[in-house]
Copies of this chain bind each other. A is one copy, B any other.
Amino acid sequence: MTESIFMDNAATTRTDPEVIAAMQPYGNEKFGSPATLYALGSEAKSAIDGARQNLADLIGADPREIFFTSGATESNNWAIKGVADALESRGKHIITNEAEHHSILMPCRYLEKKGWEVTYLQVDGDGLVDPEAVIKAMRDDTVLVTMVHGNHEIGTIQPIAEIGAAARARKVPFHVNSAQAVGHIPVDVDELSCDLLTVSGHKFHGPKGVGALYVRRGVRITPLLLGGGQERKRRAGTHNVPGIVGLGKAAELARNRLDKEPARLAELRDYIIDSIENNMEDIRLNGHRTKRLPNNVNFSFDGIEGESIMLSLSYPTSRDKKPIYVSTGSACVSGTLEPSHILLALGVPVELAHGSVRVSLSRENTREDADSFLSALYEVVERLRSMSPVYKRGSKKCASGSGSDGCDCEAAT
From residue 1 to 37 of chain A, which have CB atoms closer than 8 A to chain B? 1, 4, 6, 8, 11-17, 19-20, 27-33, 35-37
Q: In whole angstroms, how far apart are the Cα atoms of A314 and B36 in the complex? A: 11
Contact between chains at A77 and B208 (CB < 8 Å): no
Interface: A230 (CB within 8 A): yes
Please pick, from B30, B224, B227, the residue contacting A101 in the complex, using a CB distance under 8 A.
B227
Bound form: Cα–Cα A315–B314 in Å: 56
- Alpha-carbon distance between A107 and B39 when the two chains are bound, in angstroms: 31
Which residues of chain B come closer than 8 Å to A72, judged between CB atoms?
A: 237
| CB-based contact A13/B31 at 8 Å | yes
Which residue of the partner chain B has the closest CB to A239? Answer: B208
Which of the segments A187-195, A261-269, A327-335 contacts the partner chain?
A327-335
Q: A27-B207, A239-B208, A334-B233 are in contact. Are A36 and B20 (CB under 8 A)?
A: no
User: A40, B325: Cβ atoms under 8 Å?
Assistant: yes
Q: CA–CA, A46 to B15, complex, Å? A: 19
Task: Indicate if the CB atoms of B71 and A106 lie closer than 8 Å.
Answer: no
* Residues on B with beta carbons closer than 8 Å to the beta carbon of A20: 27-28
Number of copies: 2
A40 and chain B: residue at smallest CB distance: B325
- Whether, in the assembled complex, A238 has its beta carbon less than 8 Å from a beta carbon of chain B, the answer is yes
Residue A63 lies at the interface, judged by CB distance under 8 Å to chain B: no
Min CB distance, A69 to chain B, in Å?
8
Rounded to whole angstroms, the CA-CA distance of A333 and B41 in the bound complex is 11
In the complex, the chain B residue whose C-beta lies closest to that of A80 is: B226
CA distance A110 to B72 in the complex (A): 24
Residues of B within 8 A of A103 (CB): 225-228, 236-237
Do A237 and B74 touch across chains, with their CB atoms under 8 A apart? yes
Interface pair A226/B110, CB less than 8 Å apart: yes
Verify if A241 is at the interface (C-beta below 8 Å from B): yes
CB proximity of A56 to chain B, nearest CB, Å: 20
